[in-house]
Amino acid sequence: MLVPVFTLKLSHKILPRMVALGRYDGTHPCLAAATQAGKVFIHNPHARGQRTSTNRMVQSNQDSDISLLNINQAISCLASGVLNPQLGYDCLLVGTQTNLLAYDVYNNSDLFYREVTGDNVRSLALCDFDGDGKTELLVGSDDFDIRVFKQDEIVAEMSETETVTALNPMCGSRFGYALSNGTVGVYEKTNRYWRIKSKNQAISIHAFDLNSDGVSELITGWSNGKVDARNDRTGEVIFKDNFASSIAGVVEGDYRMDGSNQLICCSVDGEIRGYLPGGEEMKGNLMDTSAEQDMIRELSQKKQNLLLELRNYEESAKAELNTKKIDGQRGMIPANTQLQTALLVNLGSDNRSAHVELCISTTNDTIIRAVLIFAEGIFEGESHVVHPSPQNLSGCIRVPLTPAKDVPVDLHIKAFVGYRNSTQFHVFELTRQLPRFSMYALSSPDSSAEPLSFVNFTMNERPQRIIMWLNQSFLLPEDVEFQSVPFQVCFTSLRNAGQLCIKIKPGGEISINTDDIDLAGDIIQSMTSFLAIEDLQVEADFPAYFEELRKVLVKVDEHHAVNQRLTADMAEHSRLIRSMLLQAEDARCQGDMKIMKTHYIELYDLNRDLINQYKIRCNNHTELLNNLKAVNQAIQRAGQLRVGRPKAQVISACRDAIRSNNFHTLFRIMRVGAAPS
Ligand code: CA
Ligand code: CA
């Protein structure tokens, strides 16, 4: 069994996800970790009594090999790496909600300290996604997407079902990911190899070759203190260990300085364990014997169940032979019994209860005892069980579905079929795909309700192929048949009753009318992907949305102005405080307590003003961030309306327009696209 090669118990608690390993002197690997109260501790087991107590860094009173760095602000991010190759050693990067500090640990000095504006990015990784030898940037965001950037251009997007909290490059174009709902998995380019979902949180993921087969495993540190290593191709667990408290971080480094890297796992209680990859003698078998025995127990249980099932079949067959009669109690159902599924739109009694309905039914007098459905991102906990009470048993079960996002979802269905008095049931298993735009009900065209917002484009494509896409992507009572241009089809959203019209006009012109800019983007992306169209330029107008954006841009300007004024005020206040402090101290030295007191009272008032101003500045900053986020989102949305090069051009031209503060140009680009530069 693989056991740690070292274990340390540090007397400091560690914040989850805030662990970094670096060679801050260019030679000795040190662990840096953020702790409560705005401090970073640096554990340097190789320090030989070099006590430093200047600037930010102070020596810990308890441990001689720990230094503490004062940040005085809640720490939200920690990383290390080479910032300046000429220095020849790693620097430490500390992120807080408002600032980024680059710190030279070796010289105990700030390299720089910057105010930063945050975004909704939750995870980043560099990975050679397209295999051209250069790395692309992977970005995981709060809006559940993994985006791949090649320079300024998004080259791929994968939709997940929750906030993407971690990304980690593995071998080649493979990378690991973690979601906030306890999912971890591995992608190869845009294809997901595997994923698993736990009820615990995946705190940290890391790629490390633990069984020495030349391929990295995905190592996950969990909130319940578990660490597991999974095969990158299959997700099979090849090693696991348990800590007494939640994992805070998983890193790697040569902590023993013996020439080989260890996998280093840290818990929030300050327990550190280092593991060397399993040697040849272990033959990749890293689990202890008790884990093997667990496996054997599990397999014999499975064997028992299968034997039981086999006996049931045999007895049923015997009974059938003997009596030539179907014995419902034994779970026998007619051989021609089929399980049928249908998906349809149910408009409900009012707008709020409209939903997609999954109907599961048998083809004869058998009943469905229970249904299990597994589907990603539709049910809480990803599974749903319908188990009617005995008096409500029938041959048909209806399950309401309300997907929150327009993504195609596979419904994995298991139905238990038998008779009312059956004690055993036949299990039917099947998979149905919920079309991407199932939450839109076909409605009759009504020109008075037609949305003002639209996207127009021309495609050199036969209308029949567009109708094929339509039939595949929506839940229609029956397939739409193409007759002639002009052709029009209208839908109503089950979520908010919004209208959607898709028109095919003569000359290959297509227009999509909807006030939902996200829906317009999704439709264009879905349609062009179905038709294998690589580049698409469009003309668009979303008057209401653009008006909202205009207001946001005005607010951004205001917030910038307020920020500048407050910064100037604060500098002035600081100057006053310094001079007042000097005057007060002068008075004290001269023994004039009355004047000293007056100055200190003034100082007190000024300090209170300063603190109040700081609060205003913080609020202003938060609002500014939210508004900038909305602007960035608008640019992404304008991009989503286009495909390929026109999409990249629109995004970069919009960013240029924002940089040069040219709102007129910005809206023109969002409407008609960007001229190729
Ligand atoms: Ca590449
Ligand atoms: Ca391996």
| DSSP line for 73-105 | S-EEEEEEE-S-TTT-S-EEEEEESSEEEEEET
Q: Is the per-residue pLDDT at 56 higher than 80? A: no
**pLDDT for res 289:** 64
Determine the number of helices (DSSP H) and then strands (DSSP E) in the chain. Answer: 7, 38
Q: Is the per-residue pLDDT at 621 higher than 90? A: no
Q: Is the per-residue pLDDT at 329 higher than 70? A: no
86-108 pLDDT, tens digit each = 888 999 999 887 788 999 998 88
Stated length of the chain: 677
Q: Confidence class of residue 192 from pLDDT cuts 50, 70 and 90? A: very high
**Mean per-residue pLDDT for 624-636?**
90
473-523 pLDDT, tens digit each = 999 999 888 888 899 999 999 999 999 999 999 989 999 999 999 999 999
Q: Is the per-residue pLDDT at 248 higher than 90? A: yes
Percent of the chain past pLDDT 70, that is, above it, reads 95
**Beta bridge partner(s), residue 511:** 456, 503
> How remote is the CA of residue 281 from the centroid of ligand 2, in Å?
15
> How remote is the CA of residue 139 from the centroid of ligand 1, in Å?
15
Nearest ligand to the CA of 150 is 1
> How remote is the CA of residue 677 from the centroid of ligand 1, in Å?
24
Residue 633's Cβ-side half-sphere holds a number of Cα atoms within 13 Å equal to: 21
> How remote is the CA of residue 241 from the centroid of ligand 2, in Å?
17
**Mean per-residue pLDDT for 292-318?**
85
CA distance 246 to 102: 28
Nearest ligand to the CA of 219 is 2
Nearest ligand to the CA of 126 is 1
> How remote is the CA of residue 215 from the centroid of ligand 2, in Å?
4
> How remote is the CA of residue 117 from the centroid of ligand 1, in Å?
28
Nearest ligand to the CA of 127 is 1
Nearest ligand to the CA of 286 is 2
> How remote is the CA of residue 186 from the centroid of ligand 1, in Å?
18
Using DSSP, state whether 334 is helix, strand or coil.
Answer: coil
> How remote is the CA of residue 131 from the centroid of ligand 1, in Å?
5
- 91-96 and 440-443 as β-strands: parallel, antiparallel, unpaired? unpaired
Cβ neighbors of 21 (< 8 A, separation 6 or more) are: 29, 30, 31, 32, 80, 251, 252, 253, 255, 264
> How remote is the CA of residue 135 from the centroid of ligand 1, in Å?
5
Nearest ligand to the CA of 215 is 2
The secondary structure of 222-272 as a DSSP string is ETTSEEEEE-TTT--EEEEEE-SS-EEEEEEE-TT-SSS-EEEEEETTSEE
> How remote is the CA of residue 278 from the centroid of ligand 2, in Å?
9
**Mean per-residue pLDDT for 48-62?**
64
**pLDDT for res 330:** 56
Nearest ligand to the CA of 130 is 1
Nearest ligand to the CA of 170 is 2
Nearest ligand to the CA of 213 is 2
pTM for the whole thing? 0.73
Of residues 591 and 333, more confidence is placed in: 591
Sign of CA dihedral 126, 130, 134, 136: negative
Neighbour count for residue 74 (Cβ, 10 Å): 12
> How remote is the CA of residue 15 from the centroid of ligand 2, in Å?
29
Using DSSP, state whether 662 is helix, strand or coil.
Answer: coil
Cβ neighbors of 393 (< 8 A, separation 6 or more) are: 367, 368, 369, 420
**Mean per-residue pLDDT for 567-574?**
88
CA distance 94 to 80: 9
Nearest ligand to the CA of 236 is 2
Sign of CA dihedral 476, 477, 482, 488: negative
Give the range among 140-144, 174-178, 302-306 with minimum mean pLDDT: 140-144
> How remote is the CA of residue 76 from the centroid of ligand 1, in Å?
29
- Tell me whether residue 175 is exposed, middle or buried, using C-beta atoms within 10 angstroms of its C-beta: 0 to 12, 13 to 18, 19 or more: buried
Q: Is the per-residue pLDDT at 50 higher than 80? A: no
**pLDDT for res 176:** 97
Give the range among 75-79, 301-305, 377-381 with minimum mean pLDDT: 377-381
341-356 pLDDT, tens digit each = 999 999 888 767 899 9
Tell me the pLDDT of the chain averaged across its residues.
90
**pLDDT for res 440:** 96
118-156 pLDDT, tens digit each = 556 788 899 999 999 999 999 998 878 899 988 777 788
Q: Is the per-residue pLDDT at 167 higher than 80? A: yes
> How remote is the CA of residue 210 from the centroid of ligand 2, in Å?
5
Nearest ligand to the CA of 151 is 1
**pLDDT for res 164:** 94
> How remote is the CA of residue 288 from the centroid of ligand 2, in Å?
17
215-246 pLDDT, tens digit each = 999 999 999 999 999 999 999 999 999 999 99
